[in-house]
Amino acid sequence: MTEHSQSPKRPAHPNKKRDTPSQQSAHQTPKRTPSKQPPSKQPQSADDDILDFAKVNYLTVTRQQHDQRVDNFLLGRLKGLPRSHVYNMIRSDEIRVNGKRCKPHDKLQRNDVVRIAPIKLATREKPVISPDFAQSLLERIVYEDEGLIVLNKPSGMAVHGGSGESFGVIEAMREVTGKKYLELVHRIDKDTSGLLMIAKKRSTLKTLQEHLREKTLQKTYLCLVVGWISSETQTIDKPLLKYTLPATQEGKSGERRVKVDVKSEDSKPSQTQINVLQKFELNGQKVSLIEAKPLTGRTHQIRVHLASIGHPLLGDDKYNPNVAKGDKSVRRLCLHAYQLEIPEYETITAELPVDMQNLLENQHD
């Protein structure tokens, strides 16, 4: 008979030892109860903006973030914080999920509580968007429905803040539209122009990213490359490896690069399908206009693959040796994301930007 079932007036048996509290608890079935946060640590909804980054913040995962990776969740809430800083916080145990350590690729579940340590960052202020810039950004929307915005991004604008950028397309669009939930479906390089997908709903984000994983969403690029490519149509199938420039290269040490590497176990299988649309001369230099379809989605894939067959992109300061040596005859990276083929959507296109069109108009056959 337990202590709670005895009558208060009935004395305990003189020869029977009463169970200690620890023994009593051992006899009982333990009950799991949700841990309660102290009043100062009550979590806020992850749908709301963080107001004070200088203190510990607790965010409750909602339906909008269910099944999202930890790193993507943080990048969406710590806008302007460099990606490297976010990953350092995860590795340094400054990010916890339900009180436990986590990894960048861990998936969050609804009602999880994410703890974020204090962040000291001078660039946390909201971006200041001029009325003219805001209008020009809105005019670049080429498609919009209840769940998706497709923007024709200009060359030279990063898709998100960080790494020296106070803000990018996604921060500017959140500020301009006033929408709390806007997330990048994918990324394109800062110097690449063209179609960028931005989800207005979590369900749309998950659907489109699933299409990207399953390779049922086709992105097509237009680019100008050095030389005349002999084979009109081909698939470049070469594994790619990310690496960091050594400290011996002054001014560029620590920069990330990609190269073809058939020997490394860390290389990723990569395929790019190309089709030559036109061959001409530009300022005495042979140039080809190429349609490129990445069949995989690796960083700098089109740029590295074309450079690997001896036809680097015009204006590519990373993979075109002539540009690296100071050739400024072309002022931009000649890579434009011009078409999206998405299941259950009409084909979405964006015309070549004026600066690339001008290069084509100055050609000599």
Q: Catalytic site residue 189?
A: yes
- Helices 169-177 and 131-138, packing angle to 10 deg: 100
Active-site residue among 71, 112, 189, 191? 189
Q: How does DSSP classify residue 5?
A: G
Element at 241 (helix H, strand E): strand 240-244
Name the region of 135 (left: φ>0; alpha: ψ -120 to 50; beta: rest).
Answer: alpha
CA distance 345 to 168: 27
**Helix ranges, 190-241 (H):** 202-214
Q: How does DSSP classify residue 10?
A: S
CA distance 303 to 17: 80
Tell me if 70 sits within 8 A of 106, measured CB to CB.
yes
| Phi and psi torsions of 144, nearest 5° | -155, 135
Element at 260 (helix H, strand E): strand 256-260
357 three-class SS: helix
| Phi and psi torsions of 236, nearest 5° | -85, 115
DSSP string, 49-117: PPS-TTS-EEEE--TTTTT-BHHHHHHHHSTTS-HHHHHHHHHTT-EEETTB---TTPBP-TT-EEEE-
What is the set of active-site residues?
Answer: 189
